[in-house]
A and B are shown apart, each in its own frame.
Chain A
Amino acid sequence: KQEVTQIPAALSVPEGENLVLNCSFTDSAIYNLQWFRQDPGKGLTSLLLIQSSQREQTSGRLNASLDKSSGRSTLYIAASQPGDSATYLCADIIQGAQKLVFGQGTRLTINP
C-alpha cells in the first residue's frame, strides 16, 4: 500500500527566504505526483503536477522535483512571501490506479 509522508508537519520562516518542502513515498511505481496548496477553511488548489518521466516542473517561484529512485519529491519556494502561508500537500497516483494518495501536509507560515 502506497504511503506518502511529509516532514515537517509545520514550518515557520522569515519572509524572503528560499525554502524546501519534502514529500516521500514508499512505492516508486508512480504515474505522477501532484503538489497542492490549501488555505484555512478552503479547498485544495493544484500547484504543480510532475509526470513519472519528468524530473521537475516550474511555475513562477515554485519548483517541484521528483526522484523516483529515492522515493522523494521536493517543492522549492523562492523568495517566500506572507501570502505563501498555507498548508502544502503532496499526493501521488500509482501506475494503473486512479486514486490520489495524500500526505498529511506541511503547514507553512511566512513571517513578515
Chain B
Amino acid sequence: DAGITQSPRYKITETGRQVTLMCHQTWSHSYMFWYRQDLGHGLRLIYYSAAADITDKGEVPDGYVVSRSKTENFPLTLESATRSQTSVYFCASSDGGQETQYFGPGTRLLVL
C-alpha cells in the first residue's frame, strides 16, 4: 500500500534492551523525520534525514540512533531503553525540508 507505515504498532520492552522502530514510505520523499509525543511536551523532533546516508539531530536525540541506507526506510533504534523513553513515536516524510509532512500511524512504546 502506498503511504507511510510504522512497525511495530505496539511494543513492550524492558529497561536496558535494544529496540528498533521501523518506518517505511512509498513516495520516494527525500526527507524523513522521527518525533516523540508525550503529555505535557507535545511533539518533539528526535532525528531527521534529508536523504539517504544524511541524518541530523533534532531537539531530543540522546539515547537514540538512526540510519538511512535506503530512501524509503528510516529505522530508529533505542540502544538501551529507559523508562523515560516510554512514548508514542511518529515517523513522517516530506518532499522537501520545508514542505508538508505526512505522518505514519505511530508506535506506542512502553519501557518497563
Contacts and interface: CB of A to CB of B under 8 A. Distances in A.
Q: Decide whether A and B are members of one complex.
A: yes
Contacts of A46: 100-103
Interface residues of B, number: 24
Interface in B80-112: 90, 92, 97-106
Interface residues of A, number: 22
A93 B100 CA distance: 11
B105 A42 contact: yes
Contact of A43 (B31, B44, B45, B103): B103
B43 A31 contact: no
Given A34-B100, A43-B104, A49-B100, A102 B31 contact: no
Interface in B10-47: 31, 33, 40-45
Contacts of B98: 31-32, 93, 97-98
B90 A43 contact: yes
Nearest to A103: B42
Contacts of A103: 42
